[in-house]
Amino acid sequence: MKKETKILHSIEPDLLTGAISTPIYQTATFVQDSPGVHRGFDYGRTNNPTRAVLEKLIATLENGSHGFAFASGLAAIDAVIKLLNSGDQIVAVDDLYGGTWRTLNHIYNRLGIQLVRVDCSDIRNLKASVTDKTKLIWIESPTNPTLKIADIKEISLIAQEIGALLVVDNTFASPILQNPIDLGADIVIHSATKYLAGHSDLIAGLVVTRNSELAEQIKFIQNSSGAILGPFDSWLTIRGIETLALRVHKQCDNAELVAQFLASHPLVKRVNYPGLSTHPNHEIAEKQQSRFGAMISFSLKTDSVDAGSIVCSSTTLFKLAESLGGVKSLICQPALMTHKSIPQDVRHAAGIDDSLIRISCGIENADDLIDDLKQALNKI
């Protein structure tokens, strides 16, 4: 069965009533038949039938065996970090999502978990950085905001060799384009806030694994820490996922055309998009993704914060906002928004130019999106 079909038909009609739309079980507790004897559900933090449908759905989509839904992407990330012990080390991609970096650097560092960041687009950097303390390798591919690509399969072999777990934050690709578990990852994370829910209307996070021992530990952490996704947001996420394949393919169609337009524009210095043959790891992206995604970043020949600001403030269809993956196109300037707290020299070293602009292509008409960028670039 192909993915589009599998998504829709792995959401079963409600067993109790036949409802084709998953019911929202808005309840805190479940009445037991006799003390300790219940129908699979005892308390809403531990389990909920609506959340259970979402958890099964994401496990199916990522070719895993167990899924877990959390109150945000960062709550999902937090649960996975809690698999570690004080004294353990995490080796991660250098342009890690800012929130992941913040929790590792400001909270878990204090609790004795050390973070080492390396540019994983060259596997030799990673090989040189792992030690016997490395218990987790943390990858994003493509990364934010420079769209670097890491070879997930090669990295999974390194993880296996040193006995570390490989975690892949698959938010940017979505399960339509890339399935890290098939490439050797132990754990996949999503900020479901982005492509999965897809309408910029909620905050949610998901974790998937195919390893039942790991699943048991994650379930224990989910229940013990309690950052679960509520029934209504679980339902909205299920509803969003029903159209995931349609949306992501249209978004990729748009991004491919927008990237070509930007690459040929005289005021644009560089376009970061894994689908362009000029991308340094284009071949790896082609090998591990079915398409190249709908995130693009680009910098301007006039590389100043002001020039970038003019473009970001002049688009009308691309709305100026953080976040990504929704049906409406978004634009942002990392140097002034998501990456403002990072010192300029560190930012530059990571390839985040002052004028760098990141866009998330939505499902509008591609010609309209290109016209919008064209008139905004003319304002410089």
Among the listed ranges 122-130, 186-194, 256-264, 368-376, the one in contact with ligand PLP (CB under 6 A) is 186-194
Burial 227-260 (b: 16+ CB within 10 A, else e): bbbbbebbbbbbebbebbbebbbbbbebbbebbe
Q: From the CB of residue 365, how many other CB atoms can be counted at a distance below 10 Å?
A: 11
* Least separation in angstroms between CB 203 and ligand PLP: 5
Is residue 321 within the footprint of ligand PLP (CB under 6 A)?
Answer: no
Is residue 171 within the footprint of ligand PLP (CB under 6 A)?
Answer: yes
Candidates 62, 169, 186, 353: give the one binding ligand PLP (CB under 6 A).
Answer: 169
Greatest Cα-to-Cα distance within the chain, rounded to the nearest angstrom: 74
246 with 66: CB under 8 angstroms? no
131 with 103: CB under 8 angstroms? no
DSSP string, 107-164: IITTTT-EEEEE-TTSHHHHHHH--TTEEEEEEESS-TTT-----HHHHHHHHHHHTP
* Least separation in angstroms between CB 202 and ligand PLP: 9
List phi, psi (to 5°) of 257.
-70, -40
Candidates 72, 178, 251, 355: give the one binding ligand PLP (CB under 6 A).
Answer: 72
Is residue 333 within the footprint of ligand PLP (CB under 6 A)?
Answer: no
Amino acid at position 10, single letter: S
Strand pairing of 134-140 and 165-169? Answer: parallel
Q: State the Rg of the chain over Cα.
A: 21
Q: From the CB of residue 15, how many other CB atoms can be counted at a distance below 10 Å?
A: 8
Tokens for 29? 């507790």
Among the listed ranges 12-20, 166-174, 251-259, 281-289, the one in contact with ligand PLP (CB under 6 A) is 166-174
Q: From the CB of residue 97, how many other CB atoms can be counted at a distance below 10 Å?
A: 23
Nearest CB to ligand PLP, comparing residues 25 and 172: 172
Is residue 191 within the footprint of ligand PLP (CB under 6 A)?
Answer: yes
Q: Where are the alpha helices (DSSP H) in the chain?
A: 3-9, 49-61, 73-81, 98-103, 123-129, 152-162, 174-177, 212-225, 231-241, 244-263, 282-288, 305-314, 344-349, 366-377
Is residue 205 within the footprint of ligand PLP (CB under 6 A)?
Answer: yes
* Least separation in angstroms between CB 1 and ligand PLP: 28
Is residue 74 within the footprint of ligand PLP (CB under 6 A)?
Answer: yes
Candidates 62, 119, 140, 151: give the one binding ligand PLP (CB under 6 A).
Answer: 140
Candidates 4, 42, 99, 304: give the one binding ligand PLP (CB under 6 A).
Answer: 99
Is residue 55 within the footprint of ligand PLP (CB under 6 A)?
Answer: no
Show which residues are catalytic: 45, 97, 169, 194
* Least separation in angstroms between CB 296 and ligand PLP: 15
Report d(CA 309, CA 293) in Å as an integer. 25
Candidates 193, 234, 288, 315: give the one binding ligand PLP (CB under 6 A).
Answer: 193
Is residue 338 within the footprint of ligand PLP (CB under 6 A)?
Answer: no
Is residue 194 within the footprint of ligand PLP (CB under 6 A)?
Answer: yes
Q: From the CB of residue 280, how many other CB atoms can be counted at a distance below 10 Å?
A: 12
Is residue 225 within the footprint of ligand PLP (CB under 6 A)?
Answer: no
Under DSSP, the state recorded for 105 is I
Nearest CB to ligand PLP, comparing residues 135 and 194: 194
Q: How many residues bind ligand PLP (CB under 6 A)?
A: 15
Is residue 314 within the footprint of ligand PLP (CB under 6 A)?
Answer: no
Tokens for 220? 């224990």
Is residue 73 within the footprint of ligand PLP (CB under 6 A)?
Answer: yes
Report d(CA 140, CA 161) in Å as an integer. 20
255 with 329: CB under 8 angstroms? no
Is residue 141 within the footprint of ligand PLP (CB under 6 A)?
Answer: no
Is residue 297 within the footprint of ligand PLP (CB under 6 A)?
Answer: no
Closest residue by beta carbon to ligand PLP: 73
Is residue 144 within the footprint of ligand PLP (CB under 6 A)?
Answer: yes
Is residue 203 within the footprint of ligand PLP (CB under 6 A)?
Answer: yes
Is residue 237 within the footprint of ligand PLP (CB under 6 A)?
Answer: no
* Least separation in angstroms between CB 266 and ligand PLP: 31
Which residues of the shown chain bind ligand PLP in the complex (CB under 6 A)? 72-74, 97, 99, 140, 144, 169, 171-172, 191, 193-194, 203, 205
